[in-house]
Amino acid sequence: MRILSSQVSKHVGEEVTVAGWLHRVRALKSVTFAIVRDRDGLVQVVAAEPDLVKRLAVLTEETVIEVTGTVTANQQAPGGVEITSPAVRELSEPAVASPFDLYRPVVSAALPTVLDNAAVALRHPRLRAPFEISAASVAGYRRALDRLGFTEVHTPKVVSSATESGANVFALDWFGRKAYLAQSPQFYKQTMVGVFERVYEVGPVFRAEPHDTARHLAQYTSLDAELGFVTDHRDVMAVVREAVAEMVATIAERAPGAVELLGVKLPDVPEEIPSIHFADAQELLARETDEDPRGEPDLAPAHERWLCEWAMREYGSQFLFVTGYPMRKRPFYTHPDPQRPEFSNSFDLLFRGLELVTGGQRLHRHSDYLAALEARGESPEPYAGYLAAFAHGMPPHGGFALGLERFVARLTEADNIRWTTLFPRDLHRLAP
């Protein structure tokens, strides 16, 4: 019966079996040290028997082996134990040498080389760690929303019209008809508010982003939520706070090894995340910096960074909500601020200088949708299935979306979102 590397130290003096990848072999004069890597960590195996030493000398790293031997305490060994008098059985053919030394603390290869060799590169503990954080993040997200009475849904990823934004969509051939990959579950999650009141979805979204940047991907994992019976966008922000707090807590709980290995400083999520209105943010920037962004319809990246530093100084928070973005820069389903209709009941959540979440209150009256589409010179026809939800009675509602890979990239301070995406898809990359 195989045990994991993390369990070996509990069996000193006993015979155990471990299995994993041959992480490193070091031949000294009289003994050979073989480090075995499994999903939990590393364990040292000491071979002294001449035939075995000879066999290990020709085994390449990454060959999969099973080792049965005696657990022996050794202060010098990693974890304080090692396996002695081992019997070794190969579970794979001798492995082709990796293009990287996986046993070195850091992979020095450049990102494209790592991505081209993902199958083996991701085995490096430092390259794997972001995905442990990613899995824990999603688990925390679901845990928070389950607790708050949300229902998980799965919506179509292929749609009949490119209505949501019109630009940056992938077209495909659907049994001879033209169809498009969904840019977001936006229309479906809103429709489902009419059924479940509160829904969430974790799934892929597709953006035919023509830019090649460190922040954009053509497929990413979107954590979406939508809830009905809100007063305004502030009720949505309260859910965002709960979700992000539980994500951070679940990372601490489920991926402590990855957090430690990468030296991630998990942020405190304040009970109430500070917020500033877009107009006030512009005033603040005009007053306190050399620039005057008033009149601009959006915040520049440099302004987002400055505001995050300001929130840290003022409130000790790495998170900041900016609310009330101008209507003209938000999608047509955005609900205006009833008091100041040029501004919207929307928000972004900034985290460490970058936008992490976008959300807000949506229109819920059918007539408002018809007016919003007419104002854009659009026909309601392609939106028929979506508009039906509002015609048949929808409560005030709102929601948000959080990009998983971007969240993990900010947490781990990755300089490119591709470090936190298993097999990135972009302008150039379709494989592996």
The binding site comprises 164, 207-209, 215-217, 355, 358, 362, 403-406
Peptide bond into 432 cis (omega under 30): yes
Entry field: residues in the chain: 432
> Taking the complex as a whole, how short is the minimal distance between the CB of residue 123 and a second copy, in angstroms?
5
By CB under 8 A, is residue 181 in contact with a second copy? yes
Toward a second copy, which CB reaches closer, 139 or 284? 139
Parallel, antiparallel, or unpaired: how do β-strands 15-27 and 354-362 relate?
A: unpaired
Name the phi and psi angles at 183, rounded to 5.
Answer: -80, -20
Say if residues 83 and 8 touch (Cβ distance below 8 Å).
yes
Q: Could you tell me which stretch among 91-99, 277-285, 303-311, 329-337 binds a second copy (CB under 8 A)?
A: 91-99
Residue with tokens 């509002």: 390
Restricting to residues 312-371, which ones interact with a second copy according to CB under 8 A?
A: 364-367
By CB under 8 A, is residue 179 in contact with a second copy? yes
Annotated binding site for ATP: 207-209, 215-217, 355, 403-406
- CA 6 to chain centroid, in Å, comes to 27
Name the phi and psi angles at 65, rounded to 5.
Answer: -130, 160
The count of residues interacting with a second copy (CB under 8 A) is: 94
> Taking the complex as a whole, how short is the minimal distance between the CB of residue 261 and a second copy, in angstroms?
15
Q: Applying CB under 8 A, which of residues 79, 194, 257, 380 lies at the interface with a second copy?
A: 194
Restricting to residues 95-154, which ones interact with a second copy according to CB under 8 A?
A: 95-96, 98, 117-120, 122-123, 128, 131-132, 134-135, 138-139, 142, 146, 149, 151-154
Which helix H or strand E contains 248, and what residues bound it? helix 233-254
Restricting to residues 6-25, which ones interact with a second copy according to CB under 8 A?
A: 19, 21-22
Helices (H), 331-395: 366-375, 384-391
Q: Which residues contact 177 (CB under 8 A, 6 or more apart)?
A: 160
Annotated binding site for L-aspartate: 164, 207, 358, 362
Q: Residue 27 to residues 50, 90, 212, 356, 417: CA-CA distances in angstroms?
A: 12, 19, 46, 49, 39
> Taking the complex as a whole, how short is the minimal distance between the CB of residue 349 and a second copy, in angstroms?
21
Q: Could you tell me which stretch among 81-89, 192-200, 341-349, 410-418 binds a second copy (CB under 8 A)?
A: 192-200
Parallel, antiparallel, or unpaired: how do β-strands 219-228 and 198-206 relate?
A: antiparallel
Toward a second copy, which CB reaches closer, 21 or 347? 21
Toward a second copy, which CB reaches closer, 87 or 229? 229
Which residues is 181 bridged to in the sheet?
158
Per-residue x/- track, 36-65, a second copy (CB under 8 A): --xx--------------------x-xxx-
Say if residues 88 and 52 touch (Cβ distance below 8 Å).
yes
By CB under 8 A, is residue 432 in contact with a second copy? yes
By CB under 8 A, is residue 395 in contact with a second copy? yes
> Taking the complex as a whole, how short is the minimal distance between the CB of residue 279 and a second copy, in angstroms?
28
Q: Give 399's DSSP letter.
A: E
Toward a second copy, which CB reaches closer, 130 or 324? 130
Distance CA(257)–CA(252), nearest Å, equals: 9
